[in-house]
Amino acid sequence: MDMDLSFGLGNGPMVLVRPNYKKKHDLLKSTRITSTLIRIKPQSQRCIIVTTRTSKPHLGLVLEFYSIVFLFEVCLVDMSWSCSNYLCLSTSNTGSVISYNELTRLNSCKFACVSEGQRWKRQDLNRASNILAYSSLKPPSFKIDIGQRRKDHPLKKPRNISAYYSLKPPSYKFDALEPYMSQRTLEVHWGEHHRGYVETLNKYLAKDDILYGYTLDELIRVTYNNGNPLPEFNVAAQVWNHDFFWESMQPGGGNLPILGLLQQIEKDFGSFSNFREEFIESALTLFGSGWVWLVLKRNEKRLAIATTTNAVTPLVWDDIPLLSLDMWEHAYYLDYKNDKAWYANVFMDHLVSWNAALARMARAQAFVNLGEPKIPVA
């Protein structure tokens, strides 16, 4: 239990802000925020923002008893008093979740509060309000703690920052795909392009704490922003695309798909050679940089071939990709120079991993019902 004495003066609804009760603090200047009780924990500090009920000069006494805060106010003008209590949203170290409404109101505060020792900086509250810049985004799938975010702020982090996303190596050695994809290509494609994307993504995420906490899939969907991509989209999508691409290939790949995948291909394309022709043709008629995909369309419940430009992936349309072929020039230029047809054919004949595609389709069937239920008639 702890007591605190705060003094507030003004001619409007006011807020008393006080820092961690464990430290000495000065009498605080007050500011004008109209909000209800919010408890923010910057680092190990706890701070309570309390609105007072009166606009006349008054004396306030704030008592904190575990998760309940009592505010006792005496108005110095007419000696009326009031006592109210608030239930703190949380006393645990995870702090509390603030709704966007609260932040909207915080945004208009002219904050000028300092105290001895800890400086509760205006930038910190502004940082919280920067979240409004992305307020149209869907919030991440689990609650993110404002205090945690602030703890993770780069200026407050320890200097050896760890990456948010890591570069995953392909599951085969670099020379395993010779002579169809040379070791040199893999070294440059994975080691420089893919690695560059991951590092750029981590750099972007170090700046933007609103995007922290999403999984990569969610991050791609969120930054795609329904066709108006944010700058993080390209890098995030390319990281995902390349991970997917390495897994779509295997040493000793090619040949035919097996089991259910072959059946589904024959059902949706007529025959495997039709599918192969269509796939290679899509690869050749793609203008500029892009990807060719074998996707399972969720709505139509069938396989299809999709081509996308630059970094776009079928994930943004909520389809489930099964295979991909990188048609950016960096993927084939060292080995095949400008001969896209040769590259695409070699991919189909020797590189593509039907095992991976089969596994992905098996997983996809948990989300998409491909078969007709066998309902016996009479």
Partner 1 sequence: MALRTFATRKTLGLASTFHQQLRGLQTFTLPDLPYDYGALEPAISGDIMKLHHQKHHQTYITNYNKALEQLDDAIAKGDASTAVKLQSAIKFNGGGHVNHSIFWKNLTPTKEGGGEPPHGSLGWAIDQSYGSLEKLIAKMNAEGAAVQGSGWVWLAVDKELKRLVVETTANQDPLVTKGPSLVPLIGIDVWEHAYYLQYKNVRPDYLKNIWKVINWKYASEIYEKECP
Q: Does 289 bind partner 1 (CB under 8 A)?
A: yes
Residue 258 backbone phi and psi in degrees, to 5: -125, 170
Q: Among residues 311, 315, 323, 325, which is the contact residue for partner 1, using CB under 8 A?
A: 311
Stretch that binds partner 1, among 46-54, 212-220, 285-293, 352-360 (CB under 8 A): 285-293
Give me the least distance between CB of 339 and partner 1, in Å please.
8
Q: Among residues 288, 371, 373, 376, which is the contact residue for partner 1, using CB under 8 A?
A: 288
Q: Which is nearer to partner 1, 258 or 284 (CB)?
A: 284
Give, as ranges, the residues between 331 and 360 that touch partner 1 (CB under 8 A).
Answer: 333-334, 337-338
Stretch that binds partner 1, among 56-64, 121-129, 190-198, 356-364 (CB under 8 A): 190-198
Q: Does 309 bind partner 1 (CB under 8 A)?
A: yes
Q: Among residues 91, 183, 225, 234, which is the contact residue for partner 1, using CB under 8 A?
A: 234
Give me the least distance between CB of 306 and partner 1, in Å please.
17
Q: Does 307 bind partner 1 (CB under 8 A)?
A: no
DSSP β-ladder status, 68-75 and 81-87: antiparallel
Q: Quote the tokens at residue 85.
A: 């209590």
3-state helix, strand, coil in the chain (%, to 5): 40, 20, 45
Query: Which residues, 6+ apart, have CB-to-CB distance to 234 below 8 Å?
Result: 310, 311
Q: Among residues 328, 336, 343, 347, which is the contact residue for partner 1, using CB under 8 A?
A: 328
Give me the least distance between CB of 201 and partner 1, in Å please.
14
Q: Among residues 193, 297, 298, 302, which is the contact residue for partner 1, using CB under 8 A?
A: 193
Q: Which is nearer to partner 1, 188 or 359 (CB)?
A: 188
CA 44 to CA 26: how far, in whole Å? Answer: 19
CB contact at 8 A, 120 and 113: yes
Q: Among residues 166, 330, 342, 363, which is the contact residue for partner 1, using CB under 8 A?
A: 330
CA 26 to CA 359: how far, in whole Å? Answer: 64
Q: Among residues 97, 176, 188, 262, which is the contact residue for partner 1, using CB under 8 A?
A: 188
Q: Quote the tokens at residue 199.
A: 């590092």
Give me the least distance between CB of 315 and partner 1, in Å please.
18
Q: Among residues 2, 78, 192, 217, which is the contact residue for partner 1, using CB under 8 A?
A: 192
DSSP β-ladder status, 47-51 and 38-40: antiparallel
Q: How many chain residues are in contact with partner 1, going by CB under 8 A?
A: 19
Q: Among residues 19, 290, 314, 321, which is the contact residue for partner 1, using CB under 8 A?
A: 290
The separation between CA 117 and the C-alpha centre of its own chain, rounded to angstroms, equals 34
Tokens 């807020």 belong to residue: 15
Compute the residue count for the chain: 378
Stretch that binds partner 1, among 87-95, 131-139, 266-274, 306-314 (CB under 8 A): 306-314
Q: Which is nearer to partner 1, 203 or 330 (CB)?
A: 330
Give me the least distance between CB of 282 and partner 1, in Å please.
14
CA 166 to CA 353: how far, in whole Å? Answer: 23
Cα–Cα distances (Å) from 183 to 173, 198, 227, 248, in that order, read 9, 21, 36, 17
CB contact at 8 A, 213 and 140: yes
Closest listed residue to residue 68, CA positions, set 51, 85, 93 = 85
Q: Which residues pair with 8 in a beta bridge?
A: 58
Q: Provide the 10 A C-beta neighbour count for residue 280.
A: 20
Q: Does 203 bind partner 1 (CB under 8 A)?
A: no
Binding site for partner 1 (CB under 8 A): 188, 192-193, 196, 234, 287-290, 309-311, 328-330, 333-334, 337-338
